Structure 1
């Protein structure tokens, strides 16, 4: 019977891992250079599942499904539903009239714009502003609330784990 106890233990562990992955956290891989220097291509992140979209905060790194390609994307949340986001010629971002402190952003000038975030959307930007991955240049600059699947919490790889402080807001 010791063999049966071992099998039961393995089944319990696998079941717990599946439940944790499905409902609590999941790994995701950074696939583009859009979040440099905060995150590098190939970095593995542990993302917390989003239960309540009302708890999401500006500055958090979101993991969401791209509505057009169904791929997972990773971008920084800048605007919440109802916010007015303005980007000045020098790349400085303001939300509801207040300049946003963004030590992680690599700004590029020349683009300016004003965005009113719809009630069921988030406004996200890459940390590498001005490149082809920047959502400012997309036809649709907003992420539907229902497409957000997680918030990046911990960088697992590359090893050793580096505490960068950029995953928190």
Structure 2
């Protein structure tokens, strides 16, 4: 009888530890997310499942062109690409990204730009033309855009994203299995 009680207690402890580890990993380290919509197409596809690294920006700083997940104004999580960092002057002119007056290449847009026949993929704008409303990205905030520039609700519409709203960065698509990949 004592042996059976001991075995039940050992299984109970193992189960409690497993649940605690799952909770810690899920809420503090990594979390799954489902891509909802086409705003990051062709880089990400609707219903792709990804892993969000929640500790990435606790240990390091955001980098230009990282793909991040953040809490958007309408109580939804968005997945977008970082374009402007705090203090950056962001501008689009003739379908070219300029940051602090310097042109930047965006190779992840090349295929889409080649397909577009009726104007630029990304319309001209400066930060002052967006809800950011000033010349530079404010301290503690990020300017983000979706890769599907014509069909993305991003910082051009919702303004800069406060760092406190960022859940983490994401690079890995794990589902569907045939599409398993690391994204850039």
TM normalised by structure 2 equals 0.80
Equivalent-residue separation in structure 2 for 1:161 and 1:128 (angstroms): 19
Structure 2: where are the runs of 5+ without partners? 1-5, 114-118, 128-135
Corresponding residue number in structure 2 for 1:114? 126
Structure 1 counterpart SS, 2:14: helix
Q: Indicate if the aligned counterparts of 1:79 and 1:95 stay in contact, CA closer than 8 A.
A: yes
Q: CA RMSD in A?
A: 2.0
Q: Indicate conservation of the 8 Å contact 1:65/1:147, yes or no.
A: yes
Alpha carbons 2:171, 2:182 under 8 Å: kept: no
- 2:48 equivalent to 1:30: no
Indicate the structure (1 or 2) with the bigger Cα radius of gyration: 2
In the superposition, the TM-score normalised over structure 1's length comes to 0.86
Aligned to 1:101: 105
* Aligned mate of 2:62, from 49, 56, 63: 56
Deviation at 1:163? 2.6
Of the three residues 141, 147, 153, the one matched with 2:171 is 153
Residue 164 (structure 1) shift? 4.5
Give 1:46's aligned residue: 51
Conserved? CA contact 1:128–1:134, under 8 Å: no
Question: Which residue pairs with 2:10 in the alignment?
Answer: 5
Aligned residue pairs: how many? 162
Q: How big is the shift at 1:104?
A: 1.4
Q: Distance in 2 between matches of 1:149 and 1:165?
A: 18
SS of 1:119's partner is coil
What is the aligned counterpart of 1:123 among 113, 129, 143?
A: 143
Q: What CA distance in whole angstroms lies between the structure 1 residues aligned with 2:182 and 2:59?
A: 25
Q: Closer, same or farther in 2 for the Cα pair 1:53/1:33, shift >3 Å? A: farther
Moved over 4 A (4+): none
**Higher deviation after alignment, 156-165 or 43-52:** 156-165
Q: Please give the secondary structure, in 2, of the residue aligned with 1:37.
A: coil
Given that residues 42 and 147 in structure 2 are in contact (C-alpha distance below 8 angstroms), is that contact kept between their aligned partners in structure 1? yes
**Aligned 8 A contact 2:172 2:183 in 1:** no
Residue 103 of structure 1 and its aligned partner are, at CA, apart by 1.6
